[in-house]
Each structure stands twice: as structure tokens, then as C-alpha cells.
Amino acid sequence: MKNRTTDPFFTLLFLIYFAINFLGCSQQNNIAALIQKLEHDDPEVRIKAIISLGKTKDTHAAEPLINKLKDTNSNVRLYATNALIEIGAPAVEPLIVALKNDTSLDMRNTVTIILGEIRDARAIEPLIAALYNECDIRIHKTIEESLEKIGNLPTQVFITELTNKNNRFRKWAIDALKSKKVNIMIKGDNASAIHLFITALKTNNTDAQTY
């Protein structure tokens, strides 16, 4: 019987396994080193580290980059924003946590913009919740614009907004429907679509009725 240690196929598998583990460890070590540089006194060093972390597209880089959205240097904050957008989907969950928990309005506004640029459907429900819960109207437009970019919004969003007592929310729903800026997601049968159209007809707004 052939010795497995001298089998070319077995040797190849071993080399592939070794390479994958070595590269994985090397990548994590590189990310850890870059994260440390985010605290450097020189903003240029921080910016270079941010750019490199964005290129990794690694979820481990997301939270440290989110923290840099509060950096005292405006250029650092801008590069952190772009890096998170570049990371994309792996950054969505940490961004959602920041959207829900951060006490800074400016921070939540920036996170909302980033989620809109990434356009991941996982952000829809947290953004809708933020739209209802945010007391400061300054962030409402940012949330609405991000939802429009993501698209495929549940029909219930528009049903709720068309009957909202706040004129601003009603106007957003009507404008979004009229301009076709969003795609409406209808699950199951057409009951939700029928409900939406009936709700639109009950409004006093001609644009909603003609949608």
C-alpha cells in the first residue's frame, strides 16, 4: 500500500490546507496591526490604516472603523465612511448596532448614509424603526433617502405612512410612490397590494390616488 505521506495528492491537500491557514492568520495579524494604527497621533497614519482596512472587506475591521466615524479629524471621519462602504455587506450588522445604540445624532445620521450606500436589505427594518423612533426631524430625510436607495420596501411601510398623522411621513410615501424611487415588495398573495391601493384611494391627495 502506498504511503500517504508520499502520495502526491495527499501532499497537495496538505499544502493547500497549510496555505489557507497561513494566509488566514497572516490576514488577521495584518488587520490587528492596522487597527492599532487607528489610534496613532498622526491623522495621516490613521487615514492610511483606514484605507487598508477598507480593502480587506473583513467584518473584523467594521467596528474599529465605525469608531473612527467619531474621530476629531474630519478627513479621518470621511475616509472611515468610505472604507465602511467599501467593506459593504460584512459591515452591515455592526452598522445596525450603531444605528440602534449610539447616542450621537451625527453618528446615527452618518451610519444611515452608509447603510443606504451599501444597499443591503438587512438594513430595511432597522431604518424603518429609526424613522418612527427618531425625535429629531433632521435625520428623517436621510433615513428616507437611504430606504429609497435600498428599495424593495415592504408594502406595509407605505400603508402605514399614507395614514400617518404626520404630514411629512405621508408626503414621503406619496412622493416615493409617485416618482417610482422605490420597488414595493409584495409577499404571498395580492392582499397587501390591494390594501395599499385602497389606502391610497382613501387619502385626500390626488398624487396618491392616481398612483
**Orientation of helix 105-118 relative to helix 140-150, angle to 10°:** 10
pLDDT value, residue 151: 81
Angle at 31 between CA 25 and CA 124, to 5 degrees: 110
Contacts (Cβ under 8 Å, ≥6 apart) of 86? 54, 55, 57
| Per-residue pLDDT tens digits of the chain, which is 211 residues long | 445 555 565 555 555 554 455 444 556 778 999 999 999 999 999 999 999 999 999 999 999 999 999 999 999 999 999 999 999 999 999 999 999 999 999 999 999 999 999 999 999 989 988 988 887 878 988 998 898 899 877 666 666 666 666 777 767 776 766 665 555 554 544 445 444 444 544 555 554 444 4
Contacts (Cβ under 8 Å, ≥6 apart) of 180? none
What CA–CA distance (Å, rounded) separates 189 from 5? 60
What CA–CA distance (Å, rounded) separates 145 from 135? 17
What's 123's DSSP letter? G
Q: Please give the grid coordinates belonging to residue 83.
A: 472604507
pLDDT value, residue 172: 73
Q: Please give the grid coordinates belonging to residue 169.
A: 411621513
Number of neighbours of residue 193 by Cβ within 10 angstroms: 12
Sequence-distant contacts of 115-118: CB under 8 A, at least 24 apart: 115/146, 115/150, 116/142, 116/145, 116/146, 116/147, 116/148, 116/149, 116/150, 117/85, 117/149, 118/84, 118/85, 118/88, 118/89, 118/91, 118/92
- Collapsed DSSP state (helix, strand, coil) of residue 154: strand
Residue with cell 450588522: 93
Q: Where are the alpha helices (DSSP H) in the chain?
A: 8-37, 43-56, 62-67, 74-87, 92-101, 105-118, 124-133, 140-150, 155-162, 167-179, 191-202, 206-210
pLDDT value, residue 57: 92
Asked whether the whole model's pTM tops 0.75, one would answer no
pLDDT value, residue 47: 97
What CA–CA distance (Å, rounded) separates 194 from 174? 16
Residue with cell 435625520: 139
